[in-house]
Structure 1
Amino acid sequence: MLEFIPFTQADVTSLVSPRAGETKIGQCVHLANHEHSLDTILAIAKAHGAQFAILGVGEDIGPRANLGRGGATDAFTTSMRQWLNLQSNRFLSGAECLILGQVHTEDLQLQSTEASVESLRQAVERLDERVIRIVTAIMAAGLEPILIGGGHNNAYGLLMATYAHYQRQVAAVNLDPHSDFRLLEGRHSGNGFSYAASHGALGSYHVLGLHELKNSEANLQQLTEFGGTWHSLQQIWVRREMTLTQALHEIADKLNSTSLPVGLELDVDAIAKMPSSASTAAGIPLLDAAHYVSYIARNCPCAYLHLAEAAPSCHEVGMEAGLKEVGQSISELIYAYVQGRRQYLG
Structure 2
Amino acid sequence: MENIVRFTENSLLKYTAERSGEIKYGERIQVLPPGITIEEGLAATDAEFVLLGIPEDVGVRANYGRPGTATAWEGALKSIVNLQHNKFFKAGRLLILGCVDTAEALQQAEGLDPNEKADRKKLSALVEQLDKEVSHIITLIVRAKKTPIIIGGGHNNAYGNIKGTALAKGRPVNAVNFDAHTDFRLLEGRHSGNGFSYAYEEGFLRKYFIFGLHENYCGKGVMETIKKTEGRVKYNTYEQIAVTREKGFTAEMHNALEFINDERYGVELDLDAIVNVASSAMTPSGFSAERARQFVYFFGKQKNAAYLHICEGAPSLDNAANSHLTGKLIAYLVTDFMKAKTSLVNNAAITDESAKNSAKY
Answer yes or no: same fold by TM over 0.5: yes
Q: Residue 183 of structure 1: CA displacement?
A: 0.3
**Alignment CA distance shift 1:121-1:319 (3 Å):** farther
Cross-structure match for 1:336: 336
TM-score in terms of structure 2 length: 0.91
Q: Could you tell me which amino acid in structure 2 is paired with residue 198 of structure 1?
A: E
Where 1:326 maps in the other structure, the secondary structure is helix
The question of whether the paired residues in 2 share the 8 Å contact of 1:252 and 1:300 is answered with no
Q: Residue 271 of structure 1: CA displacement?
A: 0.5
Cross-structure match for 2:10: 10
User: Could you give the per-residue CA deviations for residues 49-74 of structure 1, whole angstroms, max 9, x where no partner exists?
Assistant: 20000000000000000111100012
1:232 paired with 2:233, answer no
The question of whether the paired residues in 1 share the 8 Å contact of 2:143 and 2:169 is answered with no
Q: Could you tell me which amino acid in structure 1 is paired with residue 51 of structure 2?
A: I
In 2, the alpha carbon distance for the partners of 1:210 and 1:165 equals 30
Cross-structure match for 1:311: 314
Cross-structure match for 2:76: 79
Spell out the pairing of 1:135-154 with structure 2 (5 A cutoff). Answer: 135-154=138-157
Runs of 4+ with >3 A deviation:
none
The question of whether the paired residues in 1 share the 8 Å contact of 2:140 and 2:168 is answered with no
Q: Could you tell me which amino acid in structure 1 is paired with residue 153 of structure 2?
A: G
Q: Could you tell me which amino acid in structure 1 is paired with residue 217 of structure 2?
A: K
Cross-structure match for 1:105: 102
1:162 paired with 2:162, answer no
In 2, the alpha carbon distance for the partners of 1:5 and 1:22 equals 29
Q: Residue 151 of structure 1: CA displacement?
A: 0.3
User: Could you give the per-residue CA deviations for residues 257-282 of structure 1, whole angstroms, max 9, x where no partner exists?
Assistant: xx211110000000101101000001
In 1, the alpha carbon distance for the partners of 2:258 and 2:303 equals 9
In 2, the alpha carbon distance for the partners of 1:223 and 1:169 equals 18
Q: Residue 2 of structure 1: CA displacement?
A: 3.5
In 1, the alpha carbon distance for the partners of 2:183 and 2:169 equals 24
Cross-structure match for 1:19: 19
Spell out the pairing of 1:269-308 with structure 2 (5 A cutoff). Answer: 269-308=272-311
Report how many aligned residue pairs link the two structures.
338
Q: Residue 90 of structure 1: CA displacement?
A: 0.7
The question of whether the paired residues in 2 share the 8 Å contact of 1:168 and 1:260 is answered with no
Cross-structure match for 2:322: 321
Q: Could you tell me which amino acid in structure 2 is paired with residue 97 of structure 1?
A: L
Q: Residue 195 of structure 1: CA displacement?
A: 0.1
Mind listing any 5+ residue stretches in structure 1 that lack a counterpart? none
Larger Rg: 2
Q: Could you tell me which amino acid in structure 2 is paired with residue 52 of structure 1?
A: F
User: Could you give the per-residue CA deviations for residues 80-104 of structure 1, whole angstroms, max 9, x where no partner exists?
Assistant: 1111111111110101100010001
CA RMSD of aligned residues (A): 1.1
Where 2:92 maps in the other structure, the secondary structure is coil
In 1, the alpha carbon distance for the partners of 2:303 and 2:248 equals 20
Pick from 53, 56, 59 the counterpart of residue 56 of structure 2.
59
Q: Residue 41 of structure 1: CA displacement?
A: 2.2
In 1, the alpha carbon distance for the partners of 2:141 and 2:301 equals 21
User: Could you give the per-residue CA deviations for residues 195-230 of structure 1, whole angstroms, max 9, x where no partner exists?
Assistant: 000100111010001001112010111122123111
Q: Could you tell me which amino acid in structure 1 is paired with residue 72 of structure 2?
A: A
- Identical counterparts, % of pairs: 37
**Alignment CA distance shift 1:345-1:19 (3 Å):** same
Cross-structure match for 2:220: 217
Q: Could you tell me which amino acid in structure 2 is paired with residue 248 of structure 1?
A: M
The question of whether the paired residues in 2 share the 8 Å contact of 1:139 and 1:165 is answered with yes
In 1, the alpha carbon distance for the partners of 2:79 and 2:205 equals 33
The question of whether the paired residues in 2 share the 8 Å contact of 1:72 and 1:150 is answered with yes
TM-score in terms of structure 1 length: 0.95
Cross-structure match for 1:248: 253
